[in-house]
Amino acid sequence: MSLHPLDHAAAILGEHMNNYVILTVDPENPQTAMIAYDSKYAAQGLLKHGLNVIENEIEVDSEYEIVWDEEEDEEE
């Protein structure tokens, strides 16, 4: 019996890491996130820390403005 790739990754990380979080997109349903973690509290801390790292690495120009095209979203 083969493991689901997310379960397989979690098993490998569980052998080598004290805490882990795996967050990915389900390839069969791109609007669904799949998550695996070993501890709810550690996962919350890891996710918050990861978000802070990502936000600090992204340089945002103060003159840059995001414009959402709502018409495109409605057509999908």
Q: Hey, what's the torsion of the CAs at 4, 9, 11, 13, to 10 degrees?
A: -170
pLDDT value for 41: 96
Q: What are the sequence ranges of the domains in the chain?
A: 5-58
Closest by Cα among 14, 23, 21 to 43: 21
pLDDT value for 53: 87
The one-letter amino acid code at 37 reads: Y
Neighbours of 24 (CB within 10 A): 13
10-residue stretch averages of pLDDT, the chain, 76 residues long: 87 94 91 94 94 80 67 55
